[in-house]
Each structure stands twice: as C-alpha cells, then as structure tokens.
Amino acid sequence: MIIDIHGHYTTAPKALEAWRNRQIAGINNPSEMPRASELRISDDELRESIESNQLRQMRERGLDLTIFSPRASFMAHHVGDFQVSSTWAAICNELCSRVSRLFPDHFIPAAMLPQSPGVDPATCIPELVKCVEEFGNVAINLNPDPSGGHWNSPPLSDRHWYPIYEKMVEYDIPAMIHVSTSCNPCFHTTGAHYLNADTTAFMQCLTSDLFKDFPTLRFIIPHGGGAVPYHWGRFRGLAQEMKKPKLSDHLLNNVFFDTCVYHQPGIDLLTRVIPVDNILFASEMIGAVRGIDPATGHSYDDTKRYIEAAHIDPEQRHKIYETNARRVYPRLDAALKAKGR
C-alpha cells in the first residue's frame, strides 16, 4: 500500500470559494455575512471534484490512500476574528469528512484548526474533538504562525500551545506543522513562507525541551523539512554547541519529514541525510507545484517516481510508502486494520 500523508482539498467546488469571499466581505459589513447553511454543495459535486482530479491522478500514479485536509493556503487564520475562523474551519473540515465518506478506500481526513492571532489555542479544542470523535480524523494541521507571515505567536515550545498538545497526546494523533497564506509581501506563500516555516519549526524544537514534557508528541514537518536536510551539519553543530543531545536522540523520536520535494537530487539528499524511519511519503498533489518538469516530462509533484529512483532498498522504500505512516498515525493504522488492510 502507498499512503500519501499530505493531500489538500485544492479542487473543492467553486461554491466554497464564493462563500468564503462573502464571509470576508461580511467582516466589514455584517449584513453581508453569510450563514454556514447557505453553502450548498451536493455529493455529486464533491464526487466530480475528486474523481476528475485527485482520484484520477492517484490511480495513474499507483497511490492507494491520501490523508486529506483542507487547502492550506485557504486556512488564512489572519483573516477576521476567531468566530470567522471557527466557522470557516468547520465548513472545510466537514467537506473533507464528506469526501472521505464518499471515497472511504482512498481518503481519510485530517483537521484544520480554527486558529486566530492572539487567541488562546484552547479555543481550537472543540473543533479538534469533533473532528476526531465524529469525523474520524487521524491528524491535525497546526499553523505555527496564524498572523500570516508576521510571526507574532510564541514558539512551538511555549506553554501557549500546550492545550493542543495535551489533546494530541490524549487522542494519539500527530500534527503536520503547516502555515497558511502569507500576507507579508516579504514572503511568497509557497516559495518562501512555507519553507521558512518548516525550517523555523524544526529549530524551535531543537532549541527546546518540548519533548521532555510530551515524549509521545509527533510532528510532521512537510516539504522535505525546508532547509533542514540540506543544512543537517549546521543543526547538528548548533545542537552540540547548545549542549543538547544528538539529534538522533533529541528529536527523531518525535519529528518526521515528508517527501514533498520536487526533484530527484532533493529526494536523494533527503533519503541520505534523514533516517528512513523518519521519512513519510507525500506529494501535495495538485497543490503548490502543478506543472510539468521539462527535464523529465512528468509532473513535478509525482513524487513516487523520485522514491522509486532513489538509491534505497525495497524494505526502506516500503517504510517510506506505508510502514512509517501507520506508526506515526496510529488512528490511521487502526482504521486500516478494521478494514482488513
């Protein structure tokens, strides 16, 4: 089985974006604020949006299952207040849940949290609980920068975040550390803000003792870990200077990396530098990079091709494709076993 741990609903019916635009307009003009019940998307519309896009490409590429969450750039936690974010998260999470019910053999949901700048993360708990207990979500996406590129929240090691971590430990679910749209013109959303955040999140973990407080907490750092594999010697050296344990002892029981790296040399580096036990297959299919690579003639985000060509043995490849995901996402493993998979 090949499990893609990083899928977003980037192909949702246009009615979703239209409703969101109305919601944003309603922030300054409350009379225009739509109710959640005004968004109407049929099952047939959901099927069409998936069958002609994600599911078609999964079949073409030989992928079996995608952990599916709301579109990351649409989370936009900096927009409006907590109520705006709460309503928006609930709508997006429900759509991903509906997709998973329509295609139970191919999609399983992960939750977007209703984060809002300056608001206690504990306010996210009701949505998290609903998504796990009612929708069967196997993970959450956690935005370390709800401000949208201004980084005015405490680091991930701060007790500010502990209410979410406590719930993650209770439910035994991991978090993908994933920012959203950048509203700071210094940082392009997908080319800079995403990769900066991946690197920043790793460094915040390295410089803290977070995992002493939460020894079973698990983070997935997407996009191959940003700059982390490329500068592994820098991080090892910094940990040494700070009198931290070796990275293999300090972080690699808790921090994992995905394979959303869109060229062969990048995957080769990732699999040489990072222990294979800490690498999980992902493609972010129909996401940030959708074009055809003229050097290969294939889609940049067809990451399975890179894993197949990497100089790793079949057992290591199997870990990246399936075994590691089942270990890092215990609720996913339980759901698959319940289905006899």
Active site residues: 284
Half-sphere exposure of 155 (CA within 13 A, CB side): 14
**Phi, psi (degrees; rounded to nearest 5) at 175:** -120, 130
Q: Which residues contact 177 (CB under 8 A, 6 or more apart)?
A: 142, 144, 156, 197, 198, 201, 219, 220, 221, 222
- Is residue 228 within 8 Å of 195, Cβ to Cβ? no
Of the candidates 163, 147, 130, the residue with the CA atom closest to the CA atom of residue 197: 147
**Single-letter code of the amino acid located at 66:** T
DSSP letter at 299?
Answer: B
Of the candidates 116, 11, 5, 22, the residue with the CA atom closest to the CA atom of residue 64: 5
**Single-letter code of the amino acid located at 30:** P
Buried residues in 265-303 as b, exposed as e (16+ CB within 10 A): ebbbbbbebbebbbbbbbbbbbbbbeeebeeeeebbbbb
